Structure 1
Amino acid sequence: MWFKDKFIDLSQPRVMGILNVTPDSFSDGGSFSGIDNALRQTELMLQEGADFIDVGGESTRPGAEYVSLQQELDRVIPVIESIKQRFDTVVSVDTSKAQVMSDAVNAGAGLINDVRALQEEGALEAAVLAQVPVCLMHMQGQPRQMQQNPMYDMVTEDVLVFLRQRIAKCESAGISLDKIIVDPGFGFGKSLEHNYQLLAELLQFKALEVPVLVGMSRKSMLGKLLNRDIEQRLAGGIAVATIAVQQGANIVRVHDVKETVDAVKVVAALNAYRKK
């Protein structure tokens, strides 16, 4: 798939490194909010094998507060510009705001990663004009209240129906299928049981005929199951990343790049031998 000025072969599983330039993200809030810190973390993740750097300026953790347009622009645009000036990598912008999408792509971003699946005002139109790939994620509710008793008839089928509808909407607006990625939205309006059912049935998302991105790194689906604090969830994160890639995930979005890259390489080698 072409990400603006760089091609990445998604027939092999890839790792996306998370770069939150926010003061309140659930795992690393405030750690990389300055440009120098952001560049150091980017360099580290690229050295560890990241294929994408996902820059986000608004926390979407449960209970997160709204961030204004100007705040988000001030946080992400200088960082994206600096990363693209220094590194030959694909930068993804994690946003739901149309203006942030447009300005980020102008600054060098090659992927729009939207937890609201281009449903906010002007977002779909901005993505069409940007002419870069988009990632459409499923979320039930909004971050402030999404974990307050989420309910589904059949979680996997419900998420699939939503993503099919959003894919169709994007195609009718002018975004071709070869520029669409989907994300089931682990932890976004999902109970512990919903998350693990989605992971067990992740292979069903291949029926959408687009690449699948997953993000489970350090999330509460690990903390609640294992009774581990955020900084103690690495082993669980490697386990779910490994399972996801075995189940057909094309991109794994993580905080712990080095360890995840190793795990993904093992699964890729295993899959290569299965095909022989």
Structure 2
Amino acid sequence: MAIVNRTPDSFHDKGRTFALESAIEAVRAAAGAGADWIDVGGVPFAPGPEVSAAEEIDRVLPVVEAARDLAVVSVDTFRPEVARAVIAAGAGVINDTSGLRDLAMADAVAGTDAQLVITHSLAAPRTLWPSPKYSDVTTEVRLFLKGGIKKALDRGVKPEQIIIDPGHDLNKNTYHSLELTRRLDEIAAIGYPLLVAVSNKDFIGETLDAPPPERLAGTLASVVYSVLHGARIVRVHDVRATVDAVRMTEAIMGWREPVYARHNV
């Protein structure tokens, strides 16, 4: 899953794809580099200037329309009205970083062909939660996700529509995110497709003392570990390198054939 943000204040790309032309160019590049899904965002999770629902729709809708014939399109939003608009425009996934705080999000997805990502976080998007505390982060995330799944099912979302995401770094410190990754099997054991969004995040930067532009190696290590422990969707900025790392992992595990085999044949 490639990331294309139409925001001026994203933590990693700092507005590089905020302009519509740049966002559409990034969509085409991601699809060409091997992305199966493209995740379009119009509002960051972190606090920042207010963005209305109408403005968010204006930001993401043209990118959805440009991407829908190239890959599965996901939209990162916590607003049901945005979800309804982008599903109507051809989005196949709603990536809800709020963890279904608004049950109308489940209503927006129920009865459609779209999938719904339920993500763990303690605070609502755009709000601070300083110094988050957990007695057992993996267990608490697991219980939260199971609760979100039940809410979605109760509102008519079908099991095959649901994807889960433990929410690395979302209201979690570096130790929390490292432990979640280490115990990712316990999240995968919930039994729904597992998405991880680890790309260039602060838990990697703080572990390696690496600023955002120097986190690719740490990201790839985190992605490969996550795939080996149950992740089936990886949300990333650096598509080509990640595609190569994941395909190599799949080949080693016997899940993928080499493109060709000439050496010593």
Query: TM class, shorter-chain normalised?
Result: over 0.9
Q: Distance in 2 between matches of 1:144 and 1:93?
A: 17
Deviation of 1:146 after TM superposition, in Å, equals 4.3
Matching residue of 2:40: 55
Which letter does structure 2 place at the counterpart of 1:78?
Answer: P
- CA–CA distance in 2 between the matches of 1:29 and 1:82? 22
Tell me how far apart the structure 2 counterparts of residues 247 and 65 of structure 1 sit (CA, whole Å): 37
Identity %: 38
Moved more, 34-43 or 175-184: 34-43
Indicate conservation of the 8 Å contact 2:111/2:157, yes or no: no
| 2:60 aligned to which of 66, 69, 76 | 76
Pairing partner for 2:143 from 161, 167, 171: 161
Matching residue's letter, 2:44: S
User: How many residue pairs get matched?
Assistant: 256
State yes or no: 1:233 paired with 2:218: no
Aligned match of 2:233: 251
Q: Secondary structure at the match of 1:254?
A: coil
Contact 2:188–2:229 (CA under 8 A) maintained in structure 1: no
1:38 paired residue number: 23
Task: Note the C-alpha offset of 1:145.
Answer: 4.8
**TM-score under structure 2 normalisation?**
0.92
Unaligned runs of 5+ in 1: 1-15
- The alpha carbon displacement at 1:273 in A equals 7.2
Q: Deviations over 1:77-127 (max 9, x none)?
A: 12111222xx33110010010110000011110001000122226222112
- Alignment match, 1:186: 168
Q: Does 1:199 align with 2:181?
A: yes
Q: Secondary structure at the match of 1:104?
A: helix
Q: Secondary structure at the match of 1:40?
A: helix
Q: Deviations over 1:3-51 (max 9, x none)?
A: xxxxxxxxxxxxx000001011111132112222112111111111101
Give the distance between the partners of 2:101 and 2:129, measured in 1 at CA.
20
Which residue in 1 is equivalent to 2:80?
98
The alignment yields a C-alpha RMSD, in angstroms, of 1.6
Aligned equivalents of 2:226, 2:101: Cα separation in 1: 26
CA contact (8 A) 1:213 1:252 kept: yes
So what's the TM-score if we normalise by structure 1?
0.88
